[in-house]
Amino acid sequence: MLANTRSLSPTFSQDIRALLRMQGVMNASHFMTVPLLALYMSMTLHFNSVALATVMSANLLSAQTLPLIAGAVADFGSRRMLALGLWLRGLGFLGFSVTNNETAWTCFAFAAGSGVACYEAGLYGVFGRQPKISHSALFAANNQMLNMGTAIGPLLGGLAALIDARFAFLASALLFGVLGASMSRSTVGTTETADRRAVLVNLRAAATNRDLWRLIVISFPWFFLFPQLYVAFPLYAGRLAGPHAASAVYVVNGVIGLAFMLVAKRWLVRMNPAISTMYAYLAAAIAFTSVAAFDNLAWFLLFIAGYTVIETVMLPALETMTGSLAVDGSRLRCSKR
């Protein structure tokens, strides 16, 4: 159903290399604040469980459900979608730094999640237009840069939180704003394909693509597992050992992810994405079951290390399978990061 790729060391264009570098910076900015969000709402703002769930759901659902529409709209310019996404994320984090109102936090969370959808629609539109033989290596390199950001961001956010978590929110907002301004002046995504189709035509093509629906079914369990990195994991770590344990979750996630990527990069590029996804789900079932058996931070961080290996296998595999479905000019996307 989905083609595997074999290229180990393709030569990426200057624009692609710039996007990969930006991915690292963007994820560092993102993870400066994500470890703090749930704990800040719970322990500082004293939001009840309903308010906390509403805010996090507004962020995650907008990020997960809007990419289909954003991906079709990206036919009108990936660069514009990238810049808009970065600015919306900056607006969301700026709002977190200046307001304590539950309704306002929900609105800003929706803006930040919409920014994720727009940014990733533009980004994966550019990635999807690259030669299919390079997709495995490209998505592996992308995951490597994301893990670098995940390792650095929580350390910076933790230092800012020693003074006031709002400084971390503000720093992320400023960084996203600068990245958005830089992207708006770049040449990335300015060369579009000649076969530019209407949004409704793109959506109709996606709705009738059987392989895409198969991939959505395959990816569906991951849509539930992956968001726990943002919600359940930091809250659970905070309950075990206090608020600073949440940052430890993301440091372990980033460091282990980067180390595993460097050690296993050749294997990740060669792997059959469908088979690796099957084994990753099996390993995830075992890992999540093990959490219930032990109730201490050391074991939980060991679980995070195992989860990270699973994530590092799963994300490039799903993205490679998504990229293999793309026709020339298509930006429709169903995976996540």
How much is the pLDDT for 67?
66
333, 330, 324, 329: which is closest to 138 by C-alpha? 324
DSSP-derived 3-state class of residue 107: helix
C-alpha angle 37-117-236 in degrees, rounded to nearest 5: 30
Contacts of residue 16, defined as CB under 8 A and 6 or more positions apart, other chains included, come to: 126, 127, 130, 138
How much is the pLDDT for 93?
94
| Domain range summary for the chain, segments of one domain joined by + | 14-325
Report DSSP letters for 29-82, one per residue. Answer: HHHHHHHHHHHIIIIIS---HHHHHHHHHHHHHHHHHSHHHHHHHGGG-HHHHH
b/e 51-71 (16+ beta carbons within 10 angstroms → b): bbebbbbbbbebbbebbbbbb
Contacts of residue 143, defined as CB under 8 A and 6 or more positions apart, other chains included, come to: 257, 261, 312, 315, 316, 337
Phi, psi at 326, each rounded to 5°: -70, 135
How much is the pLDDT for 117?
86
Q: Are 320 and 269 in contact (CB under 8 A)?
A: no
119, 129, 55, 80: which is closest to 328 by C-alpha? 129
Q: How far is residue 108 from each of residues 99, 163, 230, measured CA to CA in Å?
A: 10, 23, 16
Amino acid at 271: M
How much is the pLDDT for 305?
92
**Tens digit of each residue's pLDDT (9 = 90 or more) over 35-84:** 788 778 888 898 888 898 899 889 888 887 776 665 555 555 678 888 99
**Tens digit of each residue's pLDDT (9 = 90 or more) over 251-291:** 888 888 888 877 887 777 777 888 888 898 999 989 888 88
Encoded tokens for 93: 């984090």
How much is the pLDDT for 245?
79
Q: Are 159 and 49 in contact (CB under 8 A)?
A: no
How much is the pLDDT for 90?
94
Longest Cα–Cα distance in the chain? 57
How much is the pLDDT for 281?
92
Encoded tokens for 282: 């099996």
Q: Tell me, what DSSP letter sits at residue 277?
A: H
How much is the pLDDT for 303?
92
Counting beta carbons within 10 angstroms of the beta carbon of residue 264, is it exposed (0 to 12), middle (13 to 18) or buried (19 or more)? middle
How much is the pLDDT for 203?
62
Sign of CA pseudo-dihedral 64, 65, 66, 72: positive
**Mean pLDDT of successive 10-residue stretches along the chain, which has 337 residues:** 42 83 88 81 86 88 72 64 92 93 94 89 79 78 82 78 84 92 77 52 68 81 80 82 77 84 77 86 89 82 91 81 60 42
C-alpha angle 266-271-274 in degrees, rounded to nearest 5: 155
Counting beta carbons within 10 angstroms of the beta carbon of residue 260, is it exposed (0 to 12), middle (13 to 18) or buried (19 or more)? buried
CATH for the 14-325 domain, from 1.20.1250.20, 3.40.50.720, 3.40.640.10, 1.10.3720.10:
1.20.1250.20
Q: Tell me, what DSSP letter sits at residue 132?
A: G
Sign of CA pseudo-dihedral 119, 120, 121, 127: positive
Q: Are 318 and 335 in contact (CB under 8 A)?
A: yes
Phi, psi at 293, each rounded to 5°: -85, -20
Q: How far is C-alpha 119 from the chain's CA centre?
A: 10
Residue 92 and residue 95: Cα distance in Å, rounded? Answer: 5
Q: Structure pTM?
A: 0.73
